[in-house]
Chains A and B, each alone.
Chain A
Amino acid sequence: MNAAVNVEEKLFQNRYRVDAGRPHIRIKQPDLCRTECGTQSCTYVCPASCYKAEGNGSVTLITDGCLECGSCRIICNEHANVAWEYPRGGYGVLFKFG
């Protein structure tokens, strides 16, 4: 069901002010995703597809398209492996309509 949908195309419509070099969300212990997390649900639940499952079993995170919803932090409840903050004031997504 997911395969046919190109979320990048959707995100392309949005405006962002990216805080270059200062991602507001971080995977605390990247190893944990590979060794302890069987589901890696962040890779399909994130509505901006910021989390990617890599071939070697690890998960990578690029926050540029983040919609700042908070889902990734909440679903990582078994491992609490997401360090989550809002972007600095004025940075991040900028909704024109919301």
Chain B
Amino acid sequence: MNERFDAIVVGAGPAGNAAAYTMASAGLKVLQIERGEYPGSKNVQGAILYSDALEKIIPDFRDDAPLERHIIEQRMWVLDDESFVGTHFRSDDYNKPPYNRYTIIRAQFDKWFSSKVREAGALLICETTVSELLVDGNRVVGVRCDREGGDIFADVVILADGVNSTLARKAGFHAEISPGNVALAVKEILFMPQEAIEARFNITEDEGVVIEAIGKITDGMMGTGFLYTNKDSLTIGIGCMLADFKGSPNRTSPYAVLERMKKHPAIAPMIAGGEMKEYCAHLIPEGGFYAVPRVFGDGWMIVGDSGGFVNSVHREGSNLAMTTGRLAAETAIAAKEAGKGFGAASLKAYKAALDESFVMKDLHKYRDMPDVFHRNNQFFTTYPELVNRAAKTMITVDGVDKKTKEREIFGDFRQKRSLVGLMGDAFKLWRAFR
């Protein structure tokens, strides 16, 4: 391709679409390259869409975006083998438009977002994998594609190529991801009649429920499971740290933890009869604040998962992807207007904007979280068991007086974890959440 572009965006996930849309809307000449047959065909998410980040890009997205259900209830479950203890938060406030969050199906959502990007004037090429960045000295000047005559040039390249971040890694901008900084998630989509979903989750048309679960389902690994309601399907998935899978004493496979979760007595009845139509796997960058690499340089910026922008504590990723994509695009627009070029000196405004936004503020707030959880797997093993046993002891009516039951529970905790250990755990959590 002989044409030259203001900007090339690699990837058509939420980060790349946000960036391409924002730049094209401002009149920049944008080329977007996606390796999948269509945008979304390679992408995996739970998937909760948080309205705010998208609203800031496409305010009237609700008019035609493919949204499944708006979420009115959030459940958090702690599971042992037979039981769960949980909190449910349901509020009619979440039933008042404009809705705060929705379930979506990523392949459909990405296709929709991409149609908006093209309407805004960006040129999209699919079925094309970018194999490397073209670098002149220190400056990124374009990309090399796996098609014939595949060198394309632009003033700035925005890397929105997802968690594996192959291009920045090959260019030496950052090192390989460490297994302790990334989770591996597997999920399935299970179809069933809409009425069955609404009856099982106590919801009416368009209302949705999400369940997040921790505990024995992860077989001692640090991780969480999820179950989300779509219109006429459920998505069920589970993710654990890749380092934990690798070091698993039982040599546990991801599909085995998923199967175990599906068979849990609290979950099995909700998914019963569902017809499984797809099985996916994907990584989630969970290293947090300290794992974010350098995200800009001469002629390049990194956005979305490729830069490790995920808040794993709150299970937010796509909104950080869209926000970082938008901020990088705004930086490029301002650089073009200022006419001072796209060198690092001008693109450092991107990092400043990130630091000012919720993206870096939230990652900073939870900066110690990944480490605390990772070095203390009792949060995923011992505690779920203890909490469930405590609940059962208190709730079962068997002629034993409550004082004795309390002592029994306390003894149980003391036996599994010393008093110092218990207090230490509370302190670690408090410090990491503070």
Contacts and interface: CB of A to CB of B under 8 A. Distances in A.
Contact of A74 (B40, B126, B179): B179
A50 to B, nearest CB: 11
B193 to A, nearest CB: 17
A2 B182 contact: no
8 contacts: A14-B279, A41-B251, A70-B163, A89-B145, A89-B147, A95-B43, A97-B189, A98-B47
Interface residues of A, number: 39
Interface string A16-52: 0100000000000000000000010100110111000
Interface string A39-68: 101001101110000000000000000011
A75 B251 CA distance: 13
Contacts of B44: 95, 98
B281 A69 contact: yes
A80 to B, nearest CB: 8
A83 interface: no
Contacts of B42: 68, 92-93, 95, 98
Contacts of B242: 45, 71, 74-75
Contacts of B166: 85-86
A88 B127 CA distance: 8
B101 to A, nearest CB: 18
B246 A41 contact: yes
B282 interface: yes
A69 B41 contact: no
A45 B35 contact: no
Contact of B253 (A11, A44, A68, A97): A44
Contacts of A41: 245-247, 251
Sorting the interface of chain B by its residue count into under 10, 10 to 19, 20 to 34 or 35 or more gives 35 or more
B146 A97 contact: no
A67 B42 CA distance: 9
Contacts of A85: 129, 131, 166
A87 B256 contact: no
A74 B176 contact: yes
Interface string B277-300: 111111100000000000000000
Main secondary structure of the interface of A (DSSP, over half): loop
Q: Which 10 A-B pairs have the closest CB atoms?
A: A90-B127, A47-B281, A98-B106, A10-B279, A89-B128, A67-B281, A89-B127, A98-B107, A70-B164, A47-B254
A1 B221 CA distance: 14
Contact of B252 (A1, A7, A49, A92): A1
B155 interface: no
A89 B126 CA distance: 7
Contacts of A7: 253, 255, 279
Given A41-B245, A98-B105, 14 more contacts: A1-B252, A1-B260, A2-B251, A41-B247, A68-B42, A75-B179, A86-B35, A88-B129, A88-B146, A89-B145, A96-B277, A97-B106, A97-B189, A97-B233
A97 B105 contact: yes
A98 B251 contact: no
B123 interface: no
Contacts of A1: 219, 250, 252-253, 256-257, 260
B282 A69 contact: yes
Interface in B124-139: 126-129, 131
B45 A98 contact: yes
A13 B255 CA distance: 14
Among A5, A69, A95, A96, max chain B CB count under 10 A is at A95
B80 interface: no
Interface in B237-263: 242, 245-248, 250-257, 259-260
A12 B126 CA distance: 25
A98 B147 CA distance: 26
B168 interface: no
B284 to A, nearest CB: 10
Contact of B281 (A48, A86, A92): A48
Nearest to B186: A47
Contacts of A88: 129, 146
A86 to B, nearest CB: 5
Contacts of B256: 1-2, 4-5
A70 B283 contact: yes
Given A45-B245, A95-B40, A98-B43, A10 B255 contact: yes
Contact of A11 (B41, B126, B248, B279): B279
A90 B250 CA distance: 37
Contacts of A96: 107, 277-278
Contact of B177 (A14, A74, A89): A74
